Amino acid sequence: MLTIWMGWTPMVYISDYNLVKTAFTAKDNALMGRVRSGFALAQIGKHQDILQTDYGSVWASLRRVSHSAVRKVAVSEKLHELVADVVDSSAQTMKRTHPLGAPFDPKCYLYHSVMAILASTAFGKRYQLDDKELAFYGESLEFMQSRTSLLAAIDRIPLLRLIPKYGNYERKVFETARDVTNSCKQQYMAHRKTHSSGVVNDFCDALIEAKEKAIESDGRDGKDSRDGGDNAEAFNDDNLSLVIKNLFAAGTDTTQYTLQWIVLLMANNTEMQIQMRDEIESVIGDRVATSDDKNSCHFVNAFIAETMRYRGVAPIAVTHRAMTDTTIDKYCIEKNTLIISNLWAIHMDPNVWPNPDVFDPKRFVTRDGSFRAKMPGFAPFGIGRRVCLGEKLALADLFLITVRLLQSTNECVFALPAGDGSALE
């Protein structure tokens, strides 16, 4: 553990897996708060969501119904068909645009594929890669993500707002955030008008369904938030619209950047890539992969997991805030101290991972060749009660996209111009 002062705000970095786990699973939930930044307030206004809201009954209720909705969407047959359709389209465009043997950067194809899959998963509409609405979500989220460091600086040094350049940047980001929020709410409200009980076509439907079941269950059992039930007031239209926005914000960049690393590492290790292709051919063939296939593609899963450990796209998790005075181990933590879990250090800890600088998917494979899903010290989606909401959907997307990408390019191999091992020299 170490403390860094950002202006007048103390920030405690924790780089030990067990210490982070102890801190973020404590029964008193003292470290389950969020940073009260200007950007966070601009994102949610007077409402509450899962990403920016402090731990409490509203957050817990939103988390429960959202997690239920994510799980339902992550295993749906519609997701399997959607991913196959989008990836096939992208692969055909890649092959048509770039002749075999000619170097090219697949970044834009991966990014637009992920955006199309996430937007279609959320709203049920099949988006073409050149769709204007899809472009709006992609450009807006990319713009906000690219300005996060600048906004953090403005929050810490408010005088920067007096400089036109920085003040204008902040206003533009806030306007963009409101536009995305309003669009998500419009989509959600349209679903509310047409939703039929028991029919789940997308995340909006799944969220409405989970909300209704939670309210019905608590009403039947006579529970409320004081005795373990859900806080019905949490399920207003504004809060649930923000949850949809959370899914976009949490899923877009992390999934597409992880996919970029998967493709690069496959090209950097062609023997491993061929092993993945052989496993897919043996287990799945050329049919559309399903969630059940995930249990049989052990090396594919191991490759994806090792990619997330070796080149995790979130080296530090979303910052926590101490909501009361508390302790971590033998250290006193004052109220409003910011707590940051250093996932990069945890994933590169030689006491947990032998030769951590070596890319080796076999560390996730048992002696009998099975995938080891739960490894001590493996935490690409965070640790504790505030682990990433979209974890199960992200894992499903990564598996389905990777498999379909390899299926749709079975006549060739991803390779680097300078050969194996040259990417990370």
Q: What is the dihedral of CA 29, 252, 153, 6, to 10 degrees?
A: 30
Q: Are 232 and 238 in contact (CB under 8 A)?
A: no
Three-state DSSP class for residue 342: strand
417 torsion bin: left (phi>0), alpha (psi -120 to 50), beta (else): alpha
Three-state DSSP class for residue 11: strand
Q: In Å, how far are 73, 197, 297, 342, 348 from 82, measured between CA atoms?
A: 12, 23, 20, 35, 35
- CA separation for the pair 221, 229 (Å, rounded): 9
Residue 108 assigned to a binding site: no
The CA radius of gyration of the chain, in Å to the nearest whole number, is 22
Q: Are 113 and 87 in contact (CB under 8 A)?
A: yes
Buried b (16+ CB within 10 A) or exposed e, 145-163: eebeebbbebbeeeebbee
Three-state DSSP class for residue 129: coil
270 torsion bin: left (phi>0), alpha (psi -120 to 50), beta (else): alpha
3-state helix, strand, coil in the chain (%, to 5): 60, 5, 35
Residue ranges of the binding site for heme: 388
Residue ranges of the binding site: 388
